[in-house]
Structure 1
């Protein structure tokens, strides 16, 4: 008599402020349910969740992890110790959680916005070296323009604002790229390593932040061959760094001076723009199902 196979259980990790399945993920959740993998919504830092009850954790709207970095890394350690894989992989999540990875990409030939890394105490000297330039300052661990400043290096207003930033953080200091305002910021979505679709994000009038909470808007767009080639180079560099095999990835960047400059690789909690493109992900849902369907050694050990 064949031994019954227990159904696979998939946790969908969210945050306390976005604890339900968000509209952009509704199609994903419905498709997974049709595939026999109804996702169980769990807040990532809820101490009452028994993560050992799941076969995998699909990382989605953990949109506050950067405010709780130590707890986030400890959570990943705990999942690893339990043998519960994450999608994307936990090693990739750790690497992607600190934007200093941009400097690693640059060392592998990826065009990025010129970036200086500085601790809070070193910000005055860094800004002094860029005096007169329009700059953006952001924490290396951040999201949604959290603790992000824009101003002119050397101006008293920016100097005073930078002095109020959290002292325990490291910061990226970059020249402001005006094309973000004039032309918009690209987001290119990849599933299982294949390009799916793209959007352009534009800030509200008088702002430079493209996030919806600041009035930014998003529209579908088709990148040209040069943009796609630049994004592909970023994916190749990611693989060269030992981080291939991602289930999902968003490449954010801006075209400046005729070149696509990578601003971010989002592998943790990207907004996937699936609500407007419900079929765009192609076989990605099946890829998630296939990943959780492969019994890894740790899962088999738990079943013994």
Structure 2
């Protein structure tokens, strides 16, 4: 029998994002029956599926408690999730970066701070350009950039919700050289892009005017990305390794194992590789 696989998406993208349509066709060619399902829809019977592939659950961090409860529901029903739920839980909080640092991965210098500690950490960086983002977040939600100690950043801090935050130096290389995204399927490198923000901005997402260019990574960048992925544990079905090169050294910014944009439309062969990796796990 053909195995059915749910493509978990958000209510805003109930019919899937256009970039996933080639993947749907590739999954069918690989012998699967893919069905889009909104992860927050209480009427969905997830137990009828042979697996759930997380795709555009791009609102999970907004409904984080509900998301973790949903993962537990899938575990209880015995429905495999790609990537596995234990890996997804670990990856859902950016504090994993500090774990990877302990395992020898070069990361963007990072401190974790919550509540009153946030102002203490920022005060210790007076005069430096910094970026502050929640450890559970996406799409630059509640992310601020500014000079530590400046009135502008103090005002921004006052408006932030009471969450746990990641405090990092702002790296001008993101504006000049761009941010790398390297895509891996079943541990094998597939393709890469460089993302650059709009003039005067620091956010590389297309929503904020960022531009993306397909690019072949240098051997040093590729090996650094592979090392970061290997340090994360069992090989995931899909992964996106984001980082920036500073002084000829690749620094990991994020390791995306939940719902990353995979830059598939421009890469038909990559789409087939992902479909084959998914089919092999179902």
TM class, shorter-length = over 0.9
How far has the Cα of 1:285 moved from its partner?
A: 1.1
4+ residue stretches of structure 1 with deviation over 6 A? Answer: none
Residue 295 of structure 1 corresponds to none
**Equivalent-residue separation in structure 2 for 1:211 and 1:270 (angstroms):** 12
**Equivalent-residue separation in structure 1 for 2:262 and 2:225 (angstroms):** 16
- 1:235-275 Cα offsets, whole Å, 9 max, x none, are 22112xxxx12100000000011110000000000101010
Residue 213 of structure 2 corresponds to 219
- Unpaired segments of 5 or more residues in structure 1? 1-5, 293-304
Residue 183 of structure 1 corresponds to 177
How far has the Cα of 1:60 moved from its partner?
A: 0.2
Residue 199 (structure 1) aligned to one of 183, 187, 193: 193
- 1:92-147 Cα offsets, whole Å, 9 max, x none, are 00000000000000001111110000003211111100000000000000111111
TM-score (norm 1): 0.91
- The answer on whether the counterparts of 1:44 and 1:62 sit within 8 Å (CA) in structure 2 is yes
**Equivalent-residue separation in structure 2 for 1:234 and 1:286 (angstroms):** 23
- The answer on whether the counterparts of 1:196 and 1:281 sit within 8 Å (CA) in structure 2 is no
SS for the counterpart of 1:279 is helix
Higher alpha-carbon deviation: 200-209 or 273-282: 273-282
Give the structure with higher Rg (CA). Answer: 1
How far has the Cα of 1:34 moved from its partner?
A: 2.1
How far has the Cα of 1:281 moved from its partner?
A: 4.4
Query: Are 1:116 and 2:106 counterparts?
Result: no
SS for the counterpart of 1:219 is strand
Query: Are 1:272 and 2:266 counterparts?
Result: no
Residue 253 of structure 2 corresponds to 263
- 1:184-204 Cα offsets, whole Å, 9 max, x none, are 000000000000000000101
**Equivalent-residue separation in structure 2 for 1:20 and 1:257 (angstroms):** 43
- The answer on whether the counterparts of 1:66 and 1:143 sit within 8 Å (CA) in structure 2 is yes
- The answer on whether the counterparts of 2:22 and 2:271 sit within 8 Å (CA) in structure 1 is no
How far has the Cα of 1:166 moved from its partner?
A: 1.0
* Paired positions, count: 282
SS for the counterpart of 2:32 is coil
Change (3 A) 1:192 1:44: same
How far has the Cα of 1:44 moved from its partner?
A: 0.7
TM-score (norm 2): 0.98
Residue 204 of structure 2 corresponds to 210
SS for the counterpart of 1:143 is coil
- The answer on whether the counterparts of 1:120 and 1:165 sit within 8 Å (CA) in structure 2 is no
Residue 154 of structure 2 corresponds to 159
